[in-house]
Amino acid sequence: MNKARVALIHNTIAPYRHPLFEELAKRVKLTVYYCTVKHMSRAWDLWPRNYNYEYKILPRIPIKILGEEASFNFSIIKEILRNRPGVVIIGGYVDPTMWLALFTAKLLRIPVIYWTEGMKEPQTLLGALTRPVRILFVKKADAIIVPGKLSKRYVISLGASPDKVFIAPNSIDNDLFIRLSQRFLPLKEKIKDELNLSNKIVILTVAQLIKRKGLEFLIQAYAMLERERKETALVIVGSGPLRQHLEGLSKSLGVKNIKFIPSGLKLEELVKLYCAADVFVLPTLEDIWGFVINEAMACGLPVVSTTASQAALEMIRPGENGYIVEPARVDQLSLALKILVLNKTSRKKMGERSREIIVKEFGVLNTLLGFLNAIKYAISYE
């Protein structure tokens, strides 16, 4: 395809998106417009690296919509009018900037691609109020990009024509995580020593300390496991308002081997923790994806998660590289962890299978293909 001029509007600088944008910029004339540098609710290490694509951080008016952080970036209208891209990609529906971009592009007869990860109706007041916006985006878009089958089913339920929906599986920089993990895996026992977890089978989770991540149920499940298997330890990496509550719950349940580590770690420090772990778990009650599953699999870990994570449903092959349980089912979660704790050989094989799956099916080039197919369709459709 000739190099199309693509304007992509993203809500915030997210480090896991850089590899995709860099690869996309090799195939199209890409400009990424960021609504903000960093959301206050996120504690990402922004990964010092070259931004090998053209980008611009738009002047912003921060707003709150029913408690949700959002952005008004009026200058996106000027950017689209001045540069007249061949296609505009909008991500999400909460930021009014996306609404401005959609209406401006449509007035100028520029094809629009709606990039969304939604997989079901949000059960919130904001979700109910914005349903007409989602339906409008779906119907007005010339193509739609989604990360998985659940999202595709959802946008079709909102009125999307199936032929204009393209799956671009969410990916991270697998090569980077694999390279770093290969450096630290030989130091596994040393890293455990540094964490005062010598001779422990380490269960790791990386998540915000908020209710929807399901960490209360993980601690309950781990308490059941620890009573039987004293050689285990639980490491929780994350920050959030539930820290004190979760620590109190751990004490009330008599959990001994638990360690809380604040989020915002440098990437290498995070990978070291993945390499110290033997099992990764994301006990989420709601996640439109769950990139920590990508990270754990790239680091060669077996994974336990729930049916509330689209990443789990797309990436975990039960019995091959981990297990999927129902949200909030302490008994199921504890059993899945116990199966992995009891079998070192199985953990090793499942970890190897995790890496095979992510390299083959969830690399940046897999994501890129979905984007290129959507761009080609949108331009041809127009």
In the chain, domain spans: 5-171+363-381, 174-361
Q: What is the pLDDT of residues 42-70, one digit of tens each?
A: 554 544 456 789 999 999 998 877 667 78
The reported pLDDT for the residue numbered 66 is 63
The reported pLDDT for the residue numbered 133 is 87
Q: Give the integer Cα–Cα distance in Å for 298 and 292.
A: 10
Phi/psi of residue 134, nearest 5 degrees: -60, -40
Q: Do domains 5-171+363-381 and 174-361 have the same CATH topology?
A: yes
DSSP helix/strand/coil, 89: strand
Question: Judging by beta carbons within 10 Å of its beta carbon (0-12, 13-18, 19+), is residue 260 exposed, middle or buried?
Answer: middle
Phi/psi of residue 328, nearest 5 degrees: 65, 10
> Which fold is adopted by the domain 5-171+363-381?
Rossmann fold (3.40.50)
Q: What letter does residue 230 receive in the DSSP assignment?
A: T
Flag whether the pTM goes above 0.85.
yes
CATH of domain 174-361: 3.40.50.2000
The reported pLDDT for the residue numbered 48 is 46
The reported pLDDT for the residue numbered 42 is 53
Q: What letter does residue 228 receive in the DSSP assignment?
A: H
- Residue 93 CA to its chain's centroid (Å): 17
Q: What is the pLDDT of residues 332-349, one digit of tens each?
A: 999 999 999 999 999 999
Q: Going residue by residue through the chain (382 aa), what tens digit of pLDDT does each one get?
A: 578 999 999 998 888 899 999 999 999 999 999 998 875 555 545 444 567 899 999 999 988 776 677 888 999 999 999 999 999 999 888 889 999 999 999 999 999 999 999 888 877 776 677 788 899 999 999 999 999 999 999 999 999 999 999 999 999 999 999 999 999 999 999 999 999 999 999 999 999 999 999 999 999 999 999 999 999 999 999 999 999 999 999 999 999 999 999 998 989 999 999 999 999 999 999 999 999 999 999 999 999 999 999 999 999 999 999 999 999 999 999 999 999 999 999 999 999 999 999 999 999 999 999 999 999 999 985 4
- What DSSP assignment string belongs to 121-170? ---SHHHHHTHHHHHHHHHH-SEEEESSHHHHHHHHHTT--GGGEEE---
The reported pLDDT for the residue numbered 122 is 77
